[in-house]
Each structure stands twice: as C-alpha cells, then as structure tokens.
C-alpha cells in the first residue's frame, strides 16, 4: 500500500506474528487505516483493543442529543465505518438533522455503513472548508492528527459552532504520573486479554502506533473544555459554543 510516496511495510510485524503461529490481524510496521484488511476487520478490532469503546460510543450519543436542534448540522470527524453515525441516528432522524461524515481513508470510507452515506466526505478534515455547525464529534480521531495542526483545527472549529451547539471529543491523553500510570495501563491490558485479543496482536498494535498515534493535550481544545469521561488514559471532553 502506498500513501504519498510511502510504502507501508508489513514484513517485520507480520513475521513476528507468523513465528508465533497465531491467526491474528496483520498489522503494518506503522499503523495505517489505509489498508483494506484493517478496514474490513475494524469493528471487531477496535472493540477488542479498546474495552471502553461501546460504552463511550453510547455516552457520546447521550451527550450529543442535547446539542442537536431541528434541522441541525452534525459533523462526524473520522467517521471510520459509521460507529458514531449509527449511535446518533435516532436523534438525527427525529430532528431531521443533516449528518456529514468525514473520513480521510478511502479504504475506511468504502466500508462506511452509517446513516446518510450520500453526505460522506472523503478528505482530510484539517484541510476542508467546514460550514457553521451545531455538533461536531471527534471520536478517537485527533490523536492521529499532526501535533502541530491540532490547536488551529480546534480554534477554527470552535469559531464555527452555532449558538447552543458543541464539540464532543474522545481521545487518548498523556498517562498519569508515577505508579498510577502503571496501574491504569495494566487495567487496560487486562481488559484486552479478557476480550480475547491474542497477546501477539496486542504487542504488534502497540509497536505500530509509535509516532503515529500521539496523545492529545487537552489544552488545545481551548478554554472551558469540560471532561465528562475517563477510562485510563482515554478521556472525553465537551466544548460548548456560544449560548446565544
């Protein structure tokens, strides 16, 4: 798979898994959503690797419904296969809202099966011209943005929130300091094992994320961001727009 002149080399981690003799998801040396294998297995993979995934998804839907008005505009940034869109579908339908899923990976966009697929935008959210909106959801997405672009993205997004609207973010943060960091890491690790993820796949995924996934500094969200969710190093924030 080539991307902007770069080849995603699967050989090192694939050989590691092959030697172990286990049937697990083939993971590239550098993690990428731009492979058909990852896209096809994404829903299973993400729920195994992130034990809180379904809980956080359902919580996002509850939070989000408080900010979607009749005929409002909702952006799902990093829509993947449509997980957030499907969670928001009842309120979107009830309020005749317009959902615009945004996905940078053509492979992921190809398997999107959430609502309003006709509005799906294939592109980099950092470069798109967005309309004023009522709700934006960034679910496990900003940690894959270049660090240098995050603050400007959220500053621009905040300027586009309509009165009464909001931005909902769920993402990875820097780990806690001291022994607490070890405790929380082991909590997540034990949950992955309990979900049945092969040990080799856990290791391969962690190694592949080096330099690709970088924790989000909540400061880039701007003043007034309210933390409403936390599971280990992962957290959720609510950034409200103007009140009137």
d(CA 194, CA 208): 22
Q: Which CATH class is domain 1-244?
A: alpha beta
pLDDT in tens, 24-42: 556 667 666 667 887 787 7
pLDDT in tens, 210-237: 777 899 999 999 999 999 999 989 999 9
pLDDT given for residue 170 in this prediction: 98
d(CA 176, CA 53): 20
Task: Locate 88 and state its tokens.
Answer: 């928001």
The average pLDDT across 8-23 equals 41
Full DSSP string of 111-157: T--SS-GGG-EES-TTTS-PPPEEEEEEES-GGGS-HHHHHHHHHHH
Helices 11-20 and 199-208: crossing angle in degrees, nearest 10, is 170
% of the chain at pLDDT higher than 90:
63
**Any idea what DSSP says for residue 202?**
H
The average pLDDT across 162-173 equals 97
Could you tell me the pTM of the whole model? 0.83
d(CA 109, CA 106): 5
Measure the CA angle with vertex 171, ends 170 and 173; round to 5°: 135
All structural domains of the chain with their residue ranges: 1-244
């Amino acid at each position: 798979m080539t991307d902007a002149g770069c080849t995603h080399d699967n050989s090192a981690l694939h050989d590691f898994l092959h030697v172990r003799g286990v049937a697990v998801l083939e993971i590239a040396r550098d993690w990428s959503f731009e492979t058909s294998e990852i896209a096809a297995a994404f829903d299973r993979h993400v729920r195994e690797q992130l034990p809180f995934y379904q809980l956080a998804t359902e919580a996002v839907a509850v939070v989000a419904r408080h900010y979607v008005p009749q005929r409002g505009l909702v952006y799902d940034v990093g829509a993947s296969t449509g997980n957030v869109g499907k969670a928001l579908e009842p309120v979107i339908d009830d309020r005749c809202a317009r959902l615009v899923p945004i996905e940078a990976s053509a492979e992921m966009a190809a398997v999107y099966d959430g609502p309003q697929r006709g509005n799906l935008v294939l592109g980099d959210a950092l470069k798109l011209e967005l309309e004023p909106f009522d709700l934006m959801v960034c679910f496990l997405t900003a940690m894959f943005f270049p660090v240098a672009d995050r603050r400007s993205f959220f500053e621009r997004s905040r300027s586009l929130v309509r009165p009464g609207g909001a931005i909902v973010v769920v993402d990875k943060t820097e780990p806690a300091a001291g022994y607490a960091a070890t405790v929380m890491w082991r909590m997540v690790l034990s949950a992955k094992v309990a979900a049945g993820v092969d040990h080799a796949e856990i290791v391969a995924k962690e190694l592949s994320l080096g330099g690709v996934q970088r924790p989000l500094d909540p400061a880039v969200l701007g003043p007034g961001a309210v933390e409403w969710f936390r599971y280990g190093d992962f957290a959720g924030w609510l950034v409200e727009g103007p009140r009137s």
